[in-house]
Amino acid sequence: MLVDTHTHAWGGDTDELPWREPMLPPGWAGSYTHDRLVAEMDRLGVDEAVVVTNPLYGRGPRANEYTMRAIEAHPDRLYGVGHTDYFGGGRAGTVGGRGADRGRSSDEAAVRERIRQVVGHERMLGVRFYAALEYAEFPTDLDRTGAWIRDDALEAVFDELVAQDACLYVFPKAEQLEHVEAIAAENPDLSVVVDHMAFPDESTDPDEAPWADFEAVAEHDNTYVKVSSLPRSSDSGYPYSDLHDYVRNLLEWFGPERLLLGSDYPWMDDWADYGDCLRWVETVDWLSARDAAWLSYRSFRELHGL
């Protein structure tokens, strides 16, 4: 079995469900529909996939509507991960760190209701924090040391996710792994999934801090990592051998049971085709058949009780 734990799909810019901001992969101008995604899955032998909401729809009540439509159109193939306004008052803008003067109200009841709206569908698995980007209605500006995910007001988000048996998906840069570790430590009943291996780049080394802070994250058994979006981080091309030491370390620290394979397609379209984003695991002899099975589907199914 093969489960792609990180894809995207979005519809056309229509009056009925308009784009609030054209946040598209490099070189793209139009939609990538759920039907097109499933057709690509069929071509490559991908059994199931997780659609992560494209933030082009904003953070309002209809932010995740296209994702909901996707999983309802393909209830045996697709799952979803959404996002919303995580702060009461709904103001967009940069947020300070934990304990800072954040200049925004916190309406806990409203925040909890928004979380319930996102994960109320049985195939919506959780919500995503774009931690590596400044908090805004449309997260686009890089802030690789930002601490907004440690804001006190987010305790309501974490508590409600636990109450709904849903996950927190976090997209950080390496410098923010200390914040991820703190969230996992303070919320032991919350499953925390780090997207894209915290996006290693030219500033990181697999054996040194800050990326090696993953070892501290791994000490908490409620943490998981998506081994995803490799083509964008790689300088060597398929099968992305310059990133294999990162994957080896994750395998050592987390074990295969807490690693999940993902493509990040079609955001990878400028770097690789869909098949390459997933099939690189078949080229490495240091991944056992058991390891590959955990990455390919078993970790996902165990995490979500499927």
Tens digits of per-residue pLDDT, 51-83?
999 999 999 999 999 999 999 999 999 999 999
- pLDDT at position 97 is 42
**Sheet-wide strand order for 259-261:** 3-7, 48-52, 78-82, 124-129, 167-170, 192-194, 223-227, 259-261
Q: Please report, for the chain, how many H helices and E strands are present, in that order.
A: 11, 8
Whether this prediction's pTM lies above 0.85 is answered by yes
Render pLDDT for 221-249 as a digit per residue (tens, 0 to 9): 999 999 999 999 999 999 999 999 999 99
Q: Roughly how many angstroms between the first and final C-alpha of the chain, as a whole number?
A: 13
Rounded Cα gap, residues 161 and 156, in angstroms: 9
Residue 94 has pLDDT above 70, yes or no: no
- pLDDT at position 107 is 86
Taking each helix axis from N to C end, the angle separating 34-44 and 65-73, rounded to the nearest 10 degrees, works out to: 50
- pLDDT at position 110 is 92
Give the mean model confidence (pLDDT) for residues 150-158.
Answer: 95
Cα–Cα distances in Å, from 61 out to 7, 14, 56, 72, 216? 22, 17, 13, 18, 36
- pLDDT at position 189 is 98
- pLDDT at position 133 is 96
- Check if the beta carbon of residue 161 is closer than 8 Å to that of residue 168: yes
- Check if the beta carbon of residue 39 is closer than 8 Å to that of residue 46: no
- Check if the beta carbon of residue 9 is closer than 8 Å to that of residue 33: yes
Q: If DSSP codes are grouped into helix, strand and coil, which group holds residue 7?
A: strand
Instruction: Report H helices in 193-260.
Output: 214-218, 230-233, 244-254
**With pLDDT > 90 as the criterion, what percentage of the chain qualifies?**
92
**With pLDDT > 70 as the criterion, what percentage of the chain qualifies?**
94
144 — pLDDT class (breaks 50, 70, 90): very high
Residue 92 has pLDDT above 50, yes or no: no
- pLDDT at position 300 is 98
- Check if the beta carbon of residue 102 is closer than 8 Å to that of residue 151: yes
Rounded Cα gap, residues 82 and 113, in angstroms: 14
Residue whose pair of structure tokens reads 């979500």 in the numeric block: 304
- Residue 100: which residues within 8 A CB-CB, separation 6 or more? 147, 151
Render pLDDT for 238-293 as a digit per residue (tens, 0 to 9): 999 999 999 999 999 999 999 999 999 999 988 999 999 999 999 999 999 999 99
Rounded Cα gap, residues 96 and 149, in angstroms: 9
